[in-house]
Amino acid sequence: MVRWNAASCNVALAFIIASLGTSSNAAAQQQNRLQSSGDAPAHWSASSATRAASAPPIDYDTARLERRLDAVRATGPIVLDGVLDEPSWRDAPMATHFIQNDPREGEAATYDTEVRVLYDDEAIYFGVFARDEEPGRLTVNDLKKDFNTNNSDGFRIVLDTFHDARNGYTFATNPAGAKYDAQMANEGRERNSDWDGIWDVATRVTETGWYAELRIPFRTLKFESRDTQTWGVNFERKLRRLNEDSYWSPLPRIYDLDRVSMAGTVEGFRGLRPGMNLRFKPYAATTSSTISGRRTTGEVDAGLDVKYGVTSGLVWDFTVNTDFSQVEADEQQINLTRFSLFFPEKRDFFLENSGIFQFGTNAGQFGGGGQGGGGGGGREMRLFFSRRIGLSDAGEPIPILGGTRLTGRQGAFSLGVLNIQQRETDAVSAANFTALRLRRDILANSDIGAVFLNKEQGGPHFNRIAGVDANFRFGDFSANAYLAKSFSPDPLARAIGNEFGSRAGFNYQSRTWQAQAGHSGIGERFNDEMGFVPRQGIHNFDGRFGRQVRPAAISKWLRQMQPHWEFDLFTRQRDGALETSYQGYHWNFQFQDGSNAEIGFNPMIEDVPEAFTINSATQTRVNPGRYEFTEHFAFWRTNEAALVSFNTRYAAGNFYDGYRRNLNFGPSMRLNEKFNASLNLQFNDISLSTGAFLSKLVTTRINYNFNTKMFFNALVQYNSDNHQWTSNLRFNIIHRPLSDFFLVYNERRDERTGILLSRAVIAKMTYLMAF
């Protein structure tokens, strides 16, 4: 049986409780406090002050009921030019009086925003005027599609087209007219920013602020077939130089725009029709490849993607001879554990509507992005992981013959069906992959569901997974659980163990407290060939407990502190022995300009049953045994919206039977919205009884945006473990909506000899036809 000593528990309690004395009565002050003359920002307008002074405390349960707009049909054509001069705009009702949720929750926005809504037979229009007395100080850092909305002045819309208070679409722009769109489910617990819709925007900056005019065709959206409709809607304005977020329908600061259950409404749409919603997207590609010691080869390829709206809520996709040659390369990682590394999915076909296939929940981290370093292989299992399809374990592509996918919503049900046929190669036999997912909404904001996965490969071999899950959400509290079982004709050859995977946990988040804890169990014979399972035969107990403190005395420069304690504990199912213990005692600081810092220490225990190689270049090993060691770290990230910024993390401490020093340093430069570049350097200086080594990882990114439809991106990396330089250069032109031309150059070189290991030049054209 595993026990933590009393000292560890007492430290944890003291660490969290110590923050209580420094906290002001934030809940009362946030609602009733108006900034004194010394506290208010220099550009806080008189009209804002007047509204804030007279505004009563906000009742968030009822505020959304007062945020209502009538849907007005345009009386003439709308020209998208960023100038709201058509007569229809004058007649449209206006959404205004935006309310901050950060930094001064419940107070009027520093500069107000005005939003008007119109529609015609084909599209919905939004006319936006974002007031700003100093438009020369607007922060605009990017033009690329799906830009980082946190580091720029901007405006965001969420549309709950089914008015189910759960799901929606997000559209955003900045003063330069960059575009961001995403699908959102379960109030942001599942968000897919890789979804691409057909829509357009025009912007204009004036002496009194900036304008945005958006047109979103109805064929881009899914909604019910009713003659009269009401949609949920909310608007967000970001004033980046003050790091301020304000909303039309007010939100507490622990929520963001995805909280559609607190959104307002736009009412009275009549005669909406989504159209045929049929899209054909053929592609043609040519590739020239060179591998060291072989002749250069050329290849021409073509394929087709088809998307059909079966109902107002269901979409059926087909793909033939699927190609992902234009996808950005993976960012390399250094593995200092004995467990598999996780690499995110980047392929568009698998990213779109991917949220519906999510099973269970992935536990989050509290404070500062989890700068403590994690529990060493403690990432939660993913039952369905799409990188198992069309990619080898080394990340090399395996050709896909074709496939189909049906996703969407019908009433209270969410449905996902996926079937992909993978081609045979010299090293891998042909395989067919199927994923079935069904989820039903229950209560006000909860759901239950089931999943079935099936892999058929090369004759009699198959691997199947069946599971059920439940997610309950009640305001600030949520609880979740799942249970899954694997079925294979040749289960993993272990004498004991079971074929089950399970988890149960809860999460509580308020303005001042956060608590999360859970238990996972993965049987030794649980075999999931379509998922990511870093450990088997374990019980995992994890948790994070923290306090958010907003000290009023130093609020001019410090926005929030987050002391927190987290842990990951792994024991072996067969004997209950400890495998891994990780604890983190961290203190995070968030500053008013958007910068943040974190300090802490991480005591760890690792029981290593078998020797493993920790560095292949030097063949340094970690021998079997029980190791106790502690890492101390400090992290600092400056304001990422600034012209020049950096982040750095330094850590040092015992490591297995030796010592480790770790340095991450990442400067970034943003000259303007067109050019930005970043460099990330990671060094690990490690000395063990079996050897010593210095691992180096260099990641360089250069982005140049010619305009909102033409981009150049470069990703250059160096990894000392394999002594290779890799380059991934991409040039992209969006020649019409959702239609692209790509020119891609990939290269690998040996760092020691300079010899070319491989090179590929790819040209690809796609052309979308929508009906």
The string of pLDDT tens digits covering residues 235-254 is 999 999 999 999 999 999 99
Report the pLDDT value the prediction gives residue 187, as an integer from 0 to 100: 87
Distance CA(185)–CA(413), nearest Å, equals 12
pLDDT digit string, tens, across residues 459-489? 678 999 999 999 999 989 999 999 999 998 8
Return the higher-pLDDT residue of 28 and 291: 291
Residue 193's pLDDT band (boundaries 50, 70, 90)?
Answer: confident
Is the pLDDT at 85 greater than 80, yes or no? yes
Flag the least confident range among 192-201, 264-273, 348-357, 421-430.
348-357
Amino acid 379: pLDDT: 61
CB atoms within 10 A of CB 565: 23
**What is the Cα–Cα distance from 295 to 289, expressed in whole angstroms?**
9
| H/E element, 756 | strand 756-766
Mean pLDDT over residues 353-364, rounded? 72
pLDDT at 491: 55
More confident of the two residues 296 and 524: 524
**What's the mean pLDDT in 55-67?**
86
The pTM score is 0.86
Q: DSSP per residue over 631-653, as a string?
A: EEEEEEE--TTSSEEEEEEEEEE
* pLDDT for residue 186 is more than 70: yes
pLDDT for res 277: 78
Residue 5 has pLDDT above 70, yes or no: no
Res. 406 pLDDT band, cuts 50 70 90: very high
What's the confidence (pLDDT) of residue 51? Answer: 46
Calculate the average pLDDT of the chain: 88
Nearest by Cα to 404 from 414, 391, 417: 417
Q: Which amino acid is at 762?
A: I
> Are 387 and 510 a contacting pair, CB within 8 Å?
no
d(CA 401, CA 303): 10
What per-residue confidence (pLDDT) applies to 471?
94
Q: Is the pLDDT of residue 35 over 70?
A: no
Counting residues of the chain whose pLDDT is more than 70, the rounded percentage is 89
List all residues 6 or more positions away from 754 whose beta carbon is below 8 Å from its beta carbon.
none
Helix (H) / strand (E) containing 267: strand 264-270
Which position has the token pair 């110590």?
Answer: 18
Give residues with Cβ within 8 angstroms of 312, minimum separation 6: 222, 223, 224, 225, 274
CA distance 200 to 197: 9
* pLDDT tens track for 713-734: 999 999 999 999 999 999 999 9
Confidence of residue 48 (pLDDT cuts 50, 70, 90): very low
pLDDT for 292 beyond 70: yes
Q: Assess whether the previous peptide bond of 103 is cis (omega < 30° from 0).
A: yes
pLDDT at residue 274 above 50?
yes
The count of residues in the chain is: 771
Cα–Cα distance for residue pair 444/261, rounded to 1 Å: 9
C-alpha distances in angstroms, 83 versus 78, 98, 700, 709? 10, 22, 40, 21
Q: What is the pLDDT of residues 106-159, one digit of tens each?
A: 999 999 999 999 999 999 999 999 999 999 999 999 999 999 999 999 999 999
pLDDT confidence of residue 314:
87
Q: What is the CA radius of gyration of the chain?
A: 27
Tens digit of each residue's pLDDT (9 = 90 or more) over 414-442: 999 999 999 998 878 899 999 999 999 99
Q: pLDDT class for 606, splitting at 50, 70, 90? A: very high
- Greater confidence, 98 or 291? 98
Q: What pLDDT does residue 375 have?
A: 45
Question: What's the token pair of residue 353?
Answer: 């509507």
d(CA 549, CA 27): 11
pLDDT score recorded for residue 610: 94
For the segment 323-350, the average pLDDT, to the nearest whole number, is: 88
pLDDT tens for 612-636 read 999 988 999 999 999 999 999 999 9
From CA 182, how far away is CA 645, in angstroms rounded?
27
**Region 752-757 average pLDDT:** 92
Residue 730 to residue 174: CA distance in whole angstroms: 24
> Across residues 366-389, what is the average pLDDT?
64
- 224-233 in b/e form (b: 16+ CB < 10 A) is eeeeebebbb
